[in-house]
A and B are shown apart, each in its own frame.
Chain A
Amino acid sequence: MAHDILENSGFAADRKLNIVGTSPIKHDGWDKVTGAAKFSSDLILPGMLVGKILRSPHPHAVIKSIDTSEAEKLAGVKAVVTGADFPKIKEGTPYGDMTRMVMAQEKVYHEGHPVAAVAATSEAVAKKALKLIKVDYEVLPHVIDPVAAMQPDAPILHSYMRTKGATPNDPKVSADRPSNIVERYELGVGDVDAAFKEADVIVERTFDTKPMHQGYIEPQSCVATCSEEGEIELWCCTQAPFVYRDRLSEILKVDGSKIKVQQSELGGGFGGKTAFYAEPVAIQLARKARRPVKITFTRSEVFRGTGPVSGTQSRIKIGCKKDGTITAAEAELIFQTGPYSGSAFTNAPQAMFTRYDLKNVRTVSYEVVSNRPKVASFRAPCVPQVVFGVEGIMSELANKIGMDQIDFRRKNAMADGAKTIYAETFGKIGFIETLEAAKACDHYLSPVPKGQGRGISTGFWFNRGGETSSTLNVAPDGSVTITIGTADVAGSRISISMMVAEELGIPVDKVRAVLADTHQLGFNRVTAGSRTTFSQGVVLVDCARKVIKEMAGRAARIWNVPEEGVEFSNGSFRPAGANVGEFQPLTIADIAKKTTSTEGAIAARSDMNVTGAGPGFGCHIVDVAVDEETGAVEIKRYTVVEDAGKAIHPLQVEGQFQGGAVQGIGWALNEEYIFGEDGKMQNPGFLDYRMPVASDVPNIDTVIVEVPNPRHPFGLRGVGEVPVVPTMAAIANAIGNCIGVRPQSLPMSPPRMLQWIKERDAAK
């Protein structure tokens, strides 16, 4: 079905806005600050059992047998499940791999891989039952590091795996023998070899980054029930209720119409709650026990069992002329993905240089399996890791040709209509405006304080649209409820409510957003790709316009005038001119009141595959100080400059900018998985997996640039992901300018910093 709003958004730069652009208090905010909001573990049902998962102590092993008989005999145990309780689906297929990540079948692929689960009347009984389950393992050699996993003699995780995209020109891969390399992906444009010959300066470096956990505060938790008819209800924290339903339907072989997924409030996701873990297990336990089952992960289970984002190894080369024109760029990128594919690594070659108008680019990327938890999305999946390298080289090139850092990037910046290496042609974009705003901001204009170093970096994210389905219902008192199917992970409800209120000309307080379950709406794509406020905005503004049209018709019939004789403005329907007649304006509430005497309820729904998302660009500026005796890095000042298209709720936009930067600071400075020789994670908790605490970061200053996206009714661009993209590169550049050595490896933690400082001194 064609949707007018996708062709003509109705965006008008001179539209007078009353609500959009203000920052009202979030309707769901009060309950969150008082603790009354209902998160995933807050649901308690009569007869509910506690589910616990038994996890593999080995990083790689064959499961020879599992004996659950003793556990089943324990008083209070109501159900035990293993891989045998899940429908058999071929390994090496998307759903075959998905079901094996939830519960191992033939082999375990990482320490913490689930092998069995119990449901019992108490946590203590469940824990005791886990100890009674006997698993006979044949332990296999394991491999954690992706480069080691690529070697021909590495332990092979999947004997059936052959590298997709293998080519005889590349000795690293072969289509003929088992390999841990899932895929080789090549992307490029132009004549790179010839273009490097035109360069006056070429810089080539290698970089590595570590897997980083999303670090959401709310651990995964869910409650599953099953009716006598076999209808499943699932309550959980998720970014993707509809995707969960459809995947559950596939791996459990149950009709989608018999699975209801209700999203709870979400205590952070950042991409990590786009894939399920405990949910299918809780369902199988509930079906077997015929009782509701709740599974709540401990923090240790979150670290050992759920996805971080990929670590990377990269070699990157960029050449430019003395005037700053980049002639060519090249990259070889390696992404670790855990036991199965799923890193979304192709984002990286597509996005790493995009914002610079390059005519000659060559990239080769590899996705590699290894014996560590399967990766999941995290803000701009796989892009910040490689931008860490790209922007390091950009800074080095600017220094070498003696050009201002921002001017050098401006010289190569993409403008409206630029074509990307993945063959998309941009419409209106705001990268140049973002760079100009960065150059003009107080931070960049201020001298670098003595003893500190300053770094800058830029970043890009695609921003997505996609399938979105919503309804809008007008109550007889004129207040409005909207149902949201694209999960609210960051406060999107208020921004979406504001757009509806603006369109209807009613106060935002009259609009309430409801988190729908999967029975109530058509398919909604996952909240990811910075799509939610954009896509939900389009769909619900469309609903609002439908409702206005419907109400205009009713006003016309009440007044007994032709429909075109009614106009709508500022929340009221009025005669379009004196010739129509004299009538008192009717408000939305006036018409809503008359549902009984008119054609009944006033409601609208809109279901579309939303297009027209505008790409996002950002520029970060950071000042750091380094304690050269301990290697400690202190972030002294940080400014995020980014194009939001139009900030619907500026405080929310600032929060996204700041949150992205703070997560990047953690990734840059201290966060890393530490594995022992035995392949076990040694730091599965917040004490030793060092995310930053509040006192580790300064206030993050923000500059919101607004270059409207004309494909959105209010000009919005997604802002969720760009803010993390430049962070680690900007900090590394600042450190480089402070100590004279630009780090090429993450994390830039004190022991490693001290080592680099000593190496610097030794080289003097």
Chain B
Amino acid sequence: MTDLRYEAPNSLNAAVALLTEAKGLARVMAGGTDVIVQMEMDQSEPELIVDIKKIPKLRGISAENGGFRVGAATTGMQLCDHKTFAAAWPGVIDGVKLIGSIQVKGRASMGGNLCNASPGADSVPPMIAAGAIARVVGPNGVREVPVERIPTAPGKTSLAKGEIIASFFLPPRPKGSGDAYMRFTPRTEMDIAVTGVAINLTLDAEGVCTAARVAIGAVAPTALLVKDAGDALIGTKVDEAAIEKLVAATRAACKPIDDKRGTKAFRIEVTGVLARRVAMAALERARGNI
């Protein structure tokens, strides 16, 4: 048992300073839907909690260079309720919508979902598929990091001491783009992904796929960008042959474990099933945007 110190600075610099100077375990808290639960379960005993919700720059969604800038502490419900963002990135919203319940989404943020570094985090594969870039602020300045390079292992990230994710940049959307995310859970909600697949693709006027990114979650220590799976679609009309290649590449990329949430074989099998279903959903959305 240690005394717990709680700070809620109102500037990013102050937050970075607090984290940089912290002696023992320091945790950044946005919605608290993971941090507080882990403390309750005695899985985490921080000496310092830095609540970043009071930092205005870390909350909200704005247009930037044809894309979007999303504050890392923006809540899930703010994202779901933001009509232009939700219309541009329905696959990201698919993922956000699956996080916990409405009450949980009223607190939880994408920044927290990413930094908690659970391989099953639902907003992470669609962010990776979207090509989202995290803006990391720390004692040595600012760096821009692709989302797939943030988590390094379950519960671990590439963030250095004192670093915070301030925001995400989601790039401009060409015409003919569509994305989607699906996960498999035994329950319909309030559950954690056994496997998840996100696909973001772009079609030209003839319906030929010109860009595709595929990401998978819950089937490896971190969510993975599966380049082969995306490449299987590029240059095709996303026909049956391309989808079969996509399914095979997605299954090949899985490195799951047997655990209480599923067996290796089941996870690999169902990841392929989802890849096909997600491709069809993304395709339909893309065709609606040509």
Residue pair A674, B186 in contact (C-beta under 8 Å):
no
Q: At the interface, yes or no: A505 with Cβ under 8 Å from chain B? A: no
State which of B60-68, B141-149, B258-266 sits at the interface with chain A.
B258-266
How many Å lie between the Cα of A683 and that of B260 in the bound state? 7
Contact of A750 among B1, B40, B259, B266 (CB under 8 A): B266
Mask, A653-689, CB within 8 Å of B = 1, is 0000000000000000110001000000011011110
Q: Which 4 A-B residue pairs are closest in the complex by CB-CB distance?
A: A751-B266, A695-B188, A629-B273, A128-B1
Q: A674-B260, A682-B260 are in contact. Are A692 and B187 (CB under 8 A)?
A: yes
Residues in chain A near residue B41, CB distance under 8 A: 300, 685
Shortest C-beta distance, B184 to chain A (Å), equals 6
Report whether B186 and A669 are in contact in the complex, using a CB–CB cutoff of 8 Å: yes
Instruction: Flag if A754 contacts B186 (CB, 8 Å).
Output: no
Count of chain A residues near B, Cβ 8 A: 28
Q: Is the CB of B184 within 8 A of A630?
A: yes
Q: Is the CB of B260 within 8 A of A124?
A: no
The B interface, classified by DSSP as helix, strand, loop or mixed, is: loop
Whole-angstrom distance between the Cβ of A498 and the nearest chain B Cβ: 36
Q: Is the CB of B260 within 8 A of A688?
A: yes
Q: Is A254 an interface residue (CB 8 A)?
A: no
Complex Cα distance A401/B1, Å? Answer: 69
Residues of B188-215 at the interface with A, using a CB-CB cut-off of 8 Å, are 188-192, 194
Contacts of B159 in A (CB 8 A): none
Q: Interface 1/0s, chain B 17-46, versus A by CB < 8 A?
A: 000000000000000000000001110000
A578 within 8 A of B: no
- Counting residue pairs across A and B whose Cβ atoms lie within 8 Å, the total is 55
- Contact with A630, one of B192, B260, B273 (Cβ below 8 angstroms): B273
A696 to B186, CA, bound (A): 9
Given that A630-B273, A751-B266 are contacting pairs, would A693 and B187 also be in contact in the complex, using a CB cutoff of 8 Å? yes
Select one of B42, B184, B186, B189 contacting A695, CB under 8 A. Answer: B189
Pairwise interchain contact A754-B260, C-beta atoms closer than 8 A = no
Q: Is A100's beta carbon under 8 Å from chain B?
A: no
The residue that A696 contacts in the complex, of B184, B187, B261, with Cβ under 8 A, is B187
Residue pairs across A and B with Cβ atoms less than 8 A apart, 20 shown, are: A124-B1, A125-B1, A127-B1, A300-B41, A629-B270, A630-B184, A631-B266, A632-B184, A669-B186, A682-B259, A687-B190, A690-B191, A692-B187, A693-B189, A696-B188, A749-B186, A750-B266, A750-B270, A751-B262, A754-B266
Contacts of A687 in B (CB 8 A): 190-192
Q: Complex Cα distance A177/B269, Å?
A: 49
Chain B, residues 164-199, CB within 8 Å of chain A (1/0): the string is: 000000000000000000001011111110100000
B108 to chain A, nearest CB (A): 15
Q: Return chain B residues, CB-CB under 8 Å to A298.
A: 40
* Whole-angstrom CA separation of A669 from B187 in the bound complex: 10
B269 contacts which chain A residues (CB < 8 A)?
Answer: 754
Known: A300-B41, A674-B260, A690-B191. A632 touches B273 (CB 8 A): no
CA distance A751 to B273 in the complex (A): 14
Of all chain A residues, the one with the shortest Cβ separation from B262 is A751
When C-beta atoms are compared, the residue in chain A nearest to B41 turns out to be: A300
Number of chain B interface residues as a range: 20 to 34
Give chain B residues whose Cβ lies under 8 Å from the Cβ of A682: 259-260
User: Could you say which of A127, A629, A632 contacts B186, with CB atoms under 8 Å apart?
Assistant: A632
| Alpha-carbon separation in the docked complex, A751 to B40 (Å) | 31
Q: How far is the CA of A631 from the CA of B194 in the complex (A)?
A: 13
- In angstroms, Cα B185 to Cα A751, docked, is 11
Q: Chain A residues with Cβ under 8 A from B263's Cβ?
A: 751
The reply to whether A750 and B186 form a contact with Cβ atoms under 8 Å apart is yes
Residues of A within 8 A of B261 (CB): 688
* Cβ of A696 to closest chain B Cβ, rounded Å: 5
The residue in B190, B194, B263 that gathers the most chain A C-beta atoms within 10 A of its C-beta is B190
In the bound assembly, the distance between CA atoms of A670 and B186 in angstroms comes to 7
Q: How far is the CB of B240 from chain A (nearest CB, A)?
A: 16
Q: In this complex, what residue of A is CB-closest to B2?
A: A124
What CA separation (Å) do A751 and B194 show in the bound complex?
11
Besides the known contacts A127-B42, A298-B40, A690-B191, 11 further A-B residue pairs in the complex with CB atoms under 8 A apart: A630-B184, A630-B270, A630-B273, A670-B186, A686-B190, A693-B187, A696-B188, A750-B184, A750-B186, A751-B263, A754-B270
Determine the chain A residues whose CB is within 8 A of the CB of B266 once the complex forms: 631, 750-751, 754
CB distance from B216 to the nearest CB of A (A): 15
* Residues of chain B lying within 8 A (CB to CB) of residue A693: 187-191
Given the known interface contacts A630-B270, A630-B273, A754-B266, the answer about A670 and B260 at a Cβ–Cβ threshold of 8 Å is no
* Minimum CB–CB distance for B56 against chain A, Å: 33
A690 to B191, CA, bound (A): 8
- Please report the C-alpha to C-alpha distance between residue A319 and residue B34 in the assembled complex, in whole angstroms: 56
B39 CB → nearest A CB, Å: 11
Q: How far is the CA of A630 from the CA of B42 in the complex (A)?
A: 35
Contacts of A670 in B (CB 8 A): 186-187
Q: Please, how many angstroms separate the alpha-carbon atoms of A749 and B262 in the complex? A: 10
Query: When chains A and B are docked, how far (Å) is the Cα of A108 from the Cα of B216?
Result: 43
- Name the distance in Å between A695's Cβ and chain B's nearest Cβ: 4
Query: Complex: how many Å from CA A688 to CA B193?
Result: 11
Q: How far is the CA of A285 from the CA of B42 in the complex (A)?
A: 24
B195 to chain A, nearest CB (A): 10
Q: How far is the CA of A674 from the CA of B187 in the complex (A)?
A: 17
Min Cβ gap A139→B in Å is 23
Question: A128 → chain B, closest Cβ, in Å?
Answer: 4
Question: Which chain B residue shows the least CB distance to A122?
Answer: B1
B41 to chain A, nearest CB (A): 7
In the complex, residue of chain A having the shortest beta-carbon distance to the beta carbon of B277: A629
Please report which residues of chain B, range 249-289, place their CB below 8 angstroms from some CB of chain A when the two chains form the complex: 259-263, 266, 269-270, 273
> For the complex, what is the distance from the CA of A696 to the CA of B41, rounded to whole Å?
27
Bound-complex Cα distance A545 to B179 (A): 72
- A751 surroundings in chain B (CB, below 8 A): 262-263, 266
Return A258 CB to nearest CB of chain B, in Å.
37
Could you say which residues of chain B place their CB within 8 Å of the CB of A685?
41
Beta-carbon contacts under 8 Å, A235-254 to B: none
| Residues from chain A with Cβ under 8 Å of B273 in the complex | 629-630
CB distance from B280 to the nearest CB of A (A): 13
